[in-house]
Structure 1
Amino acid sequence: MFGMADMDPTGGLWNWAAASSLDSDRVCGALAGALERNVVLLDSTEIDNAVLCDVYHVNGDFPTLIDVYLAPESLAETTAASAVAVRLEVAILLPDDSLNPTRYVLAEPDGSLRLVHVDEVETDDGPVRRHMRPCTGDDPACAAGPEEEAA
């Protein structure tokens, strides 16, 4: 169900969005705890064997964007996102296994995972995501996936 998020098609790059404005130190701490590895900010000079993290802010319902570089390939992205969501007590969006541009996996603060749809607008600061709703199959964006829209 969450295949793409569990595969590593990008060589250890995860792109998440958190449903709260979070401090970069708090994000790095939650990542370090979940991954049991050293996590440093992207601009750090101490990067030996560390997971790199970039945290920046945009508007919208998921204002903290989290890019994780050199993520461990031995851990499923959904598992990591779920553990980080629990530690931060904040919902986290991550890519799902479809080609549908509005569908994501939501890692809830209680550790659960579910599919949702989110409207996204690209801005100069990064993607702004709003209007989250459950993926029920009834959503027009889900009912007519990209392969059907092109027909």
Structure 2
Amino acid sequence: MPTSTAPTALWNWSVEAPVAAPDVYRALAAVLDRPVLPLAGADPELLLDDVVLCDVWRRPGLFGMSVDCYRAPADVGETGVVAGFARLIGERCLLPDDTADPGRFLLITPEGVVRPVHLDVADTDDGEVLSNLRFCTASDPWCREWARCDQSRRAPDSVLPPYVVA
């Protein structure tokens, strides 16, 4: 019986537009160069080490398509993977950033550009709802006064050049 001995990570991000779950699995498998299977019905103890499990679901609001990856490779950078994924599906993606601010994210374009943004987050019976997308910038008084933005590896107004993903 196969068991996983490789270190793994849990990844989650959101996609701006709806994408069919099989298309998510295919795009993610292409970026990772490893099998990606739906989480539903999978028995992790019966899977080979390199299989990534993925759950795709919808919630209301902006970036309402959620992608959760289980058994993701721990030695691969999530931001680069999401950049490659965004390129393949042609949609912007939203990744949690490195601050404790629940409304600060990294916006990743299909071109691979990464920049910090803020969204309003509301907890509802249907899950977390995101709204009011705005760039994290020092010219915004609210952002300028929020100390956690300055503590991030991605400071306000930072724009990372496109990730080069094969």
Report the TM range for the smaller structure's normalisation.
0.7 to 0.9
Contact 1:12 1:71 in 2 (8 A): yes
- Which of 117, 140, 143 matches 2:142? 140
Which residue identity is paired with 2:64?
Answer: P
Find the counterpart in structure 1 of residue 90 from structure 2: 89
Contact 1:103 1:142 in 2 (8 A): no
For 1:28-107, what aligned pairs fall within 5 Å after superposition? 28-45=25-42, 48-49=47-48, 50-107=51-108
**TM-fit CA distance, 1:52:** 0.5
Contact 1:106 1:115 in 2 (8 A): yes
In structure 1, distance between residues paired with 2:102 and 2:39: 27
Which residue identity is paired with 1:98?
Answer: T
**TM-fit CA distance, 1:100:** 1.6
In structure 2, distance between residues paired with 1:139 and 1:23: 39
Does 2:114 align with 1:117? no
**TM-fit CA distance, 1:79:** 0.5
Structure 2 vs 1, CA of residues 96 and 41 (structure 1 numbering), >3 Å: closer, same or farther? same
The higher radius of gyration belongs to: 2
Comparing 134-143 with 110-119, greater Cα deviation is found at 134-143
In structure 2, distance between residues paired with 1:139 and 1:60: 25
State the TM-score, normalized to the length of structure 2: 0.76
In structure 1, distance between residues paired with 2:136 and 2:86: 20
**TM-fit CA distance, 1:143:** 2.6
Structure 2 vs 1, CA of residues 37 and 125 (structure 1 numbering), >3 Å: closer, same or farther? farther
Find the counterpart in structure 2 of residue 5 from structure 1: none
In structure 2, distance between residues paired with 1:26 and 1:75: 21
**TM-fit CA distance, 1:97:** 1.1
In structure 2, distance between residues paired with 1:113 and 1:76: 14
In structure 1, distance between residues paired with 2:141 and 2:148: 13
Aligned residues: 137
Gaps of 5+ in 1: 1-10
State the TM-score, normalized to the length of structure 1: 0.83
Find the counterpart in structure 1 of residue 155 from structure 2: none
Q: Alpha-carbon deviations, 1:16-36, whole Å to 9, x = none?
A: 110001111111111101111
Gaps of 5+ in 2: 1-7, 150-166
Find the counterpart in structure 1 of residue 13 from structure 2: 16
Q: CA RMSD in A?
A: 1.9
In structure 1, distance between residues paired with 2:60 and 2:107: 18
Give % identity: 36
Q: Secondary structure at the match of 1:81?
A: helix
Contact 1:40 1:46 in 2 (8 A): no
